[in-house]
Structure 1
Amino acid sequence: MLENCNNGGLTTASLSGKPALPNDRRQHARHVSVLRVAKINTPRSEELCLVRNISGKGMMVHVYSDLCVGDPVSTEFNSGKPIAGRIIWHREGMIGIEFDESLDPDSILSGTNSVPAAPHPRPPRVGLELHGRIRVGSRYQTVTLCNISQGGANIRPSEPDTVLEKVVLMVNGLPPIAGSVRWQDEEHAGIEFDIPVSFEVLARWVPSVRRQG
């Protein structure tokens, strides 16, 4: 089921059937069930996670590394607006996050909680500093992987003057990923993958890279 979580999209949503409450309490009592990819920033690193449900006071999240109760965290959806909170429980790969302040779950999921709103929402990207290679035709070039999402990556080529188009990105622990360079400047290039990387593959890979580093 997790294989279908491409590009951070919302795949399911439902509201609980609880009786209506006064307006100032309804957003806190309402729980929205979701399957939404997000980025979670912890005191030690950042990684991808899967949000299972959310309310005005917090959310339940599936994570892929060891986190501790009491840790401060912030979570980002497509809008890029961080939502601060702390971990209040942790068991079997799931954590409960309590927000630092009450929020409207609908605005979080739609991205309208971002001020100003993100002009071009994109899948959550995880920052890295990892050596790899790209293949351009029959030639190979070393690169530094700066960040990655299910849909693309930012790289720093060792030969920045080379004009890139179609490439295959290769880094330890992931299969070769074909893509197209959508932009390039004096130092970096942005790759859009031909086929999005499986969420679970990427979510498990990021913590493994952190541990090896």
Structure 2
Amino acid sequence: MPTAIDFLKPAELQPGTMTDGPLGRRASQRSHSVLLVARLIGGDADDMCLVRDVSSSGAQIRTQQALRVDDRVVLEFGGSLSVDATVRWVRPGTAGVQFDYCIDVENVLSATTPKDARRSTPRIQRCSRVLLSTAALEVEASLIDITPGGGGVTLKTPRTFPHGTQIMVSIKNFLQRPAEVRWQVNGRLGFQFYERIQLSKLDCWLVNTVELCRACPNQRSCHTANRRDPHASGPMFTQGRRHAN
């Protein structure tokens, strides 16, 4: 199984960088096992990805995007740190990228602190059936996108949910979690979880559903025409309030 250092080949290192020479090279290959949310930009991709391992020279990421070796991408951490990179290896749902220049891993970790993540957590698109329920009704919906803090859906039947309505969000084989309605427009609805999804749980679900999402015949309409309302503000994707049990 590839690791974060598999793409850090000495022949690819550029003279004059922090990795020039044996001491610098060893430093560049010290990978940190993490689970961070980042924004992936490259080609047609502008999506959320999960970073599993990171070093000063590269990272291993989870993504549904069909990346290819030598693709040029940008990883944006916490909305405050962007790093240009090249894809070095790919396999379903996973890719290894090499940064154009060495970075300070501590800067990456500080850029993705909870405070920053709440402000600019990117959305990940998935094709999945969702059930929204209250004490009085149940409504089927299709997932538009999701983050650890909330998500957006397209309702299959017209229903009105006042702002602040408490709902239960259910996705088969993934979660059943209470949430609050944050916005609704043109048959679409955004919700905020009261408790954020654990990244490890989200990561597992992303890996298990990546091929299903690619095979979805409605993928393009799900991911473009039905994107979240541009006038909806950040609270939909900010950290949910914790309610006492």
User: TM-score scaled to structure 1, two decimals?
Assistant: 0.62
Map of 1:86 onto structure 2: 86
Map of 1:191 onto structure 2: 192
Q: State which of 112, 122, 139 in structure 2 corresponds to 1:141.
A: 139
- What secondary structure is seen at the aligned counterpart in 2 of 1:137? coil
- What secondary structure is seen at the aligned counterpart in 2 of 1:25? coil
Query: 1:15-47: CA deviations, max 9, x gaps?
Result: xxxxxxxxx737884434122233445545545
- Cα 1:210–1:119 shift into 2, 3 Å: closer
Instruction: Note the residue ranges of structure 2 that are not aligned, 5 or more in a row.
Output: 1-16, 218-245
Q: Which residue identity does 1:51 align to in structure 2?
A: R
Q: Is the contact between residue 127 and residue 213 of structure 2 (CA under 8 Å) also seen in structure 1?
A: no
- What secondary structure is seen at the aligned counterpart in 2 of 1:103? coil
How far did 1:176 drift? 5.0
Q: Distance in 2 between matches of 1:147 and 1:107?
A: 28
Q: Which residue identity does 1:126 align to in structure 2?
A: I
Query: 1:163-206: CA deviations, max 9, x gaps?
Result: 453222245x5445222216335564222155726131234324
User: TM-score scaled to structure 2, two decimals?
Assistant: 0.56
Q: Is the contact between residue 54 and residue 105 of structure 1 (CA under 8 Å) also seen in structure 2?
A: yes
Instruction: Note the residue ranges of structure 1 that are not aligned, 5 or more in a row.
Output: 1-23
- Equivalences, count: 184
Q: Distance in 2 between matches of 1:195 and 1:132?
A: 17
- What secondary structure is seen at the aligned counterpart in 1 of 2:85? strand
Q: Which residue identity does 2:137 align to in structure 1?
A: R
Structure 1 residue 201 and structure 2 residue 202: aligned? no
Between 1 and 2, higher relative CO (CA 8 Å, sep ≥ 6) is seen in 1
Q: Which residue identity does 1:134 align to in structure 2?
A: L
> Hey, which of these two has a bigger chunk of helix by percent?
2
Q: Kindly, what percent of the aligned residue pairs are identical?
A: 15
Q: What RMSD over aligned residues (CA atoms) do the two structures have, in Å?
A: 3.9
- Cα 1:78–1:194 shift into 2, 3 Å: same
Structure 1 residue 69 and structure 2 residue 102: aligned? no
Map of 2:32 onto structure 1: 33
- Cα 1:138–1:42 shift into 2, 3 Å: farther
